[in-house]
Structure 1
Amino acid sequence: MNETFKSLTLVLLLLITSCGNSEKKEQKTSEESEAKTLVSKDQNQEKTILFFGNSLTAGYGLEEGQAFPELIQKKIDSLGLNYEVINAGLSGETTAAGKNRLDWVLKQGVDIFVLELGANDGLRGIPLEETRKNLQDIIDKVRKKNPEVKIILAGMQIPPNMGQDYTEKFRKIFPELAEKNNVYLIPFLLKGVAGNSELNQQDGIHPTAEGDKIVAKNVWEVLKPLLKESAGPEA
């Protein structure tokens, strides 16, 4: 009986030890599998490009899908790149109004932030230093939210209605801010479109659908290299 009891005890101990080791192995395998899944998800996670601007970004007067941010999305999709474009344009937006709604917009994650504001400031004759400060504050807020974000600043020019001095100083705000903050610059968003009646709507300010195709090209020249950094040479 004693020998039998000892044998049974030994078998039970072996079984318990074996089960414990098995559970540990299964747990380790499960943890490794979960870690690989998380890494895979992180690598394949869709990135976000947010266009933050006024009526030019919103596509004032255009049909759905004709505004330049939507054209950029179509270009990205055609290349099979894993980016989602968000159009956060709002007609009539000034730099001050944009700064006030920025916190709400930044509730979502942003990988590339395209800042297109200032035109309405210039057309309204808002003091240049106020425009400059608001744009700087927006850049600072975006970076505080995500230090790794890539920022593109859209340069703007205005007609000389406010005088040549104001017009020239307004134009310089954008390249100066871009250099100061080490952000990417679209030299002039409306290059090849501004002043061309065939590419602008009747107001002479907002591009037509054909005009926005040119605007999209101006944006793509600066945006494309940033996508290539993450997606490879096919972009």
Structure 2
Amino acid sequence: MLKMKYKQLLVNYRNSARKIFTNFCYFLGVLLLLSCGSDSSKKETITEKTVVKTETTVSSSTKKIVFFGDSLTAGYGLDDINDAFPALIQATIDSLALNYTVINSGVSGETTSGGKNRINWVLNQKVDVFILELGANDGLRGVPLKETRENLQAIIDAVRKKNPQTKIVLVGMQLPPNMGQDYTNEFKTIFPQLASKNKLSLVPFLLKDVGGIPSLNQSDGIHPTVEGQKILAKNVWEILGPIL
């Protein structure tokens, strides 16, 4: 009798264990299903956020134009930097709804040697168009022409090395005749020769229709007035505009 009761208890225990195990498996299956559904929803949400973020980044990006020059670029002597020709070119760009931002990197008194020394710092940012306006101070100080040419070439090389896709515009300069005819003539040829050698766009002479005209220059006879800066902007835009 005792033996039969023991067997019955064993059967009941096994049946109960199976029932518990079956319920546990069902519960575990439901839990996994819910977990997968939650994870899938999470992934979908993350993906949607990533797409939105990427689209926002692309739509807000603008290309950069760096004007790398001396006091003519910096707008020396003007009451408002917005009267300098780089800022006037920005105004033209904005009026045409072009996706470019102008950065004025002009330093008064800058020589090609000084420009060569600071070019890597300027190139820490991505530059799409690079306007190189240096050399006038070299000429006025009588710097050996070979040195001026080599410094300009070094700056061009640095820009190309950083980003071969950057478009470079070289701005030509000329000197007054009091520097000596030979020096003046050779100085003038540096810019078109470098432009040809490096396949660059060239502004033939930044101060065209401004240099030597008292009414368009400040009292020093060198730096353009507000009206003079408008003509400089026109001279540069004739070359820059088609590029943009």
TM-score range, shorter chain: 0.7 to 0.9
Q: In the alignment, does 2:180 pair up with 1:166?
A: no
Q: In the alignment, does 2:234 pair up with 1:217?
A: yes
**C-alpha displacement at 1:46, in angstroms?**
2.3
SS of corresponding position for 2:131: strand
Q: In the alignment, does 2:195 pair up with 1:178?
A: yes
- 1:218 corresponds to which letter in structure 2? N
Aligned residue number for residue 3 of structure 2 = none
Match of 1:66 among 78, 83, 90: 83
Cα RMSD, aligned residues only:
2.1
- 1:117 corresponds to which letter in structure 2? L
Q: In the alignment, does 2:24 pair up with 1:17?
A: no
SS of corresponding position for 2:35: helix
Q: Deviations over 1:30-80 (max 9, x none)?
A: 235414422441343122211111110111111112111111122222333
- 1:44 corresponds to which letter in structure 2? S
Instruction: Return the alpha-carbon distance in structure 2 between the equivalents of residues 52 and 67 of structure 1.
Output: 13
The list of structure 1 runs, each at least 4 consecutive aligned residues, that deviate by more than 4 angstroms after superposition, is: none
- 2:110 corresponds to which letter in structure 1? E
Aligned residue number for residue 9 of structure 2 = none
SS of corresponding position for 2:83: coil
Q: In the alignment, does 2:204 pair up with 1:187?
A: yes
Match of 1:47 among 63, 79, 92: 63
Instruction: Return the alpha-carbon distance in structure 1 between the equivalents of residues 147 and 141 of structure 2.
Output: 12
Instruction: Return the alpha-carbon distance in structure 1 between the equivalents of residues 167 and 59 of structure 2.
Output: 18
TM-score by length of 1: 0.87
Instruction: Return the alpha-carbon distance in structure 1 between the equivalents of residues 131 and 188 of structure 2.
Output: 18
Instruction: Return the alpha-carbon distance in structure 2 between the equivalents of residues 18 and 185 of structure 1.
Output: 67
SS of corresponding position for 1:114: strand
Alignment of 1:63-102 (within 5 A): 63-64=79-80, 65-102=82-119
Number of residue equivalences: 227
**C-alpha displacement at 1:153, in angstroms?**
0.9
**C-alpha displacement at 1:131, in angstroms?**
0.5
Q: Deviations over 1:160-191 (max 9, x none)?
A: 22322222221111111112222221111111
Instruction: Return the alpha-carbon distance in structure 1 between the equivalents of residues 37 and 161 of structure 2.
Output: 48
Instruction: Return the alpha-carbon distance in structure 1 between the equivalents of residues 79 and 163 of structure 2.
Output: 33
- 1:41 corresponds to which letter in structure 2? T
After superposing the two structures, state which structure 1 stretch, 107-116 or 128-137, moved more: 107-116
Instruction: Return the alpha-carbon distance in structure 2 between the equivalents of residues 71 and 38 of structure 1.
Output: 32
TM-score by length of 2: 0.84
Q: Which has the larger radius of gyration?
A: 2
After superposing the two structures, state which structure 1 stretch, 112-121 or 84-93, moved more: 84-93
Instruction: Return the alpha-carbon distance in structure 2 between the equivalents of residues 42 and 156 of structure 1.
Output: 38
